Structure 1
Amino acid sequence: MSFGDEHGHGGDQGRPDSGFGGSGQTRTRLPDGRGGDVYGGARRPARGSRSLIAMVGVIVLLVAAIAFANRGGGDAKASAGAGGGGGVTKGAKADPTAATGTKPVEGKNGAIPTGYAKTEQGAASAAANFTVAINSDGMFKKDSRDLILDTLYIPDEAAKLKTALDPAYAPAELGKLGLDAAGNPPQGSTFVSRAIPVGTKVVDISGDTAKVSVWYTGLIGMAGPGSTDPVKTTWQTGTFDLRWLGNDWKIATDTQKDGPAPVPGDNAASSADEISKAVEQFGGFTYAR
C-alpha cells in the first residue's frame, strides 16, 4: 500500500509543519475510539487475499458442478436384460448417444459388425447398424443380399426373406432404378443407397428380447448422365424386434414406416457429378453408436 492510501498523506495544506526532516517532532496516531485521528481518520484496513481466493474457489466448484451435471450419458443405470434379468419398458425419452465406456463390437461378417453387448446400448447399436446394412446397395445384388439376411436375421426369418424379397429385386424392378439384372449401374453412373441413423429408442428390453426403433434419413437414386431417378433423400423409422441368439442380437421381425420428415432446407441440389464424387470419397458408416 502506498502512502497516498492513508488519509492525510500526499497533501497537508493548512496543517502546521509536519516536522519531517526539520523539527524533529514525531507524529502520534491515537488508538481507535480515542479523541480522533490527527490524520483525519483511521487507517483503512488492508484488503486481504483470503476473500478473493475463497471467491475464486467457489466459482471453480460451481463451474465443475455444472459441467458434471451436463455431461452426456444420462442416468447411470444398470444395463437391463444383461444375464436375463428383469425387463425395462422405455418411454418416449431419447436414448443418449454419448460414450458409455462399453467397447464397440470387435467382430465382423464381411463389412457388417457383429458381437453386440446384451445391454440397452448393445441393442440400440445393433438396430442402428442393421438399419445401415439393410438399406445399403448390397441389398440390390443377390449374393450380398443373402449374406446380409443370414447375418442380421434369425435363421427362420432369413430363409423366409430370401424368397419373399426376390420379387422386389427382380430385373424389372431393378430396371426402374437404372440397374441391370445383376444390380449393376450403367458405365459412368453411380448408384447410391445409404441410410444414416439420426437416433434410436429402446422401446422395451427384457431377458433375451428387445424392441428398438431407429429414426433415419436415407439416400437413394442414380447419379449419372441421363439418369431418370436422381439421388434423393428419404425419412423413415424402422422398428426391430430383436432376439438374443448365438451370443448376439438378431432380427426376429422388423417394420418400416415413413417419417417423421423435417421441412427441406434451402440447399441447392448438387450435380450428378458432385454426388458421384462424394459417394466415392466418403465411405458409408459400418458401425454407428
Structure 2
Amino acid sequence: MSSNRELRGVLNRPPSLATSPSAEVLRRLELTITRRLDGILQGDYRGLVPGHGSDLGETREYQPGDDVRRMDWNVTARLRTPHIRQTIADRELETWVLTDLTASLGFGTAECEKRDLAVAAVAAVGFLTARGGNRVGAVTMEAGHLATIPARSGRVNLQALLHRVIEAAREERAGTADLEAAIRRVGATMRRRGLAVIVSDFLDRSPWERPLRALAAHHEVLAVEVVDPRELELPDIGVVRLVDPESGAQLEVQTANAKLRQRYAARAAEQRAEIARRIRAAGADHLVLRTDRDWLVDLVQFVARRRERIDALTRVRP
C-alpha cells in the first residue's frame, strides 16, 4: 500500500507525557497528524471512520451482507421484495471520545506507555474529524471520576479539549473505574447521531459490552484497544514483582519457569480474544494499537480496510 510506504521508516512514537510539556505534546501530535495523516486519510468527507450517514436517500433491493437495521419496511411490503434505505453522509458530524485514563494505562515496556498511545489516538480522532463545523467532545474516565468536556467546533476549542485530556492523563491516581458507567455516560450525552470512540485497554471487568451495544445501535462506534507486549507474554528475566496499578496488590513471579510463561501467554491470548469478541458482538469497529508498533501505520491500515468493507457492502449490483 503506497500510503504505508509514506509512513514507514523510523518508528513513529507518540510524544511522552512523562518527559514533554503539555504544549510540546500537543504541538508534536498536531504536526504529525495534520501533515502526515490528513492527506492520506481524507479521501472523502467521511474521513477517519467512513459510515452510512443519517440523512435518508434512495432505496435499493436488499443484498446479502446489508445492515438489516436499514431495512425500508414500507417499500418492502409494497414491492414484496426486501429493500433497504440508503443514507447520505452527514455534512456535520458530532464526535465524542471516551478516554480511559485509569492507572492501568500508566504502563509501558516498549516504545511508549499506554497512556501516551491513548492520548495520540484521541488527538488523531480530534484533528481528523474537527473540520467543516464538526464538533468534538470528550469524556475522561479516571479512578472514581468521570469528567465531561462539551462538544464544540473550531481549532481553538479542539486544542483546549486535548490540553485538558493531556493534563488529566498526567495525573496517575490509584483506584478502579467503571467502564460500563463511562460508556453509558457517552450514550446519554450524544443527543444526535454521530461518531463515538472508546479508547481503553478494556481490562475492566464490568459488563461494558451491554452499553456498547446500545451505543452502536444509534451511532458509529470505534473501540480503540491499547496493548503493551508484556500484557501478552512474559520474558525470561528471573524473579519479578508484579504490581496491580489500580488496587496496589503485589505478586512475585519466577519468570524462568517456562510452563508458567506458556500458561501466562495462553491466558492472555484468551483474554484478548474475548475482548475482541465482545467488541464485535456489540457491533463496534475494533482498532488495536500496541506500544511496540508504529501507531500511524496501524491507523492507516485500519481505515483502508474499513473503507473497503463499507464500499463492498454499499455497492449496487448492475
Length-normalised TM-score, structure 2: 0.23
By relative contact order (CA 8 Å, sep 6+), the higher-ranking structure is 2
Task: From the two aligned structures, give the one with the greater helix fraction.
Answer: 2
Length-normalised TM-score, structure 1: 0.25
Which of structures 1 and 2 has the bigger CA Rg?
1
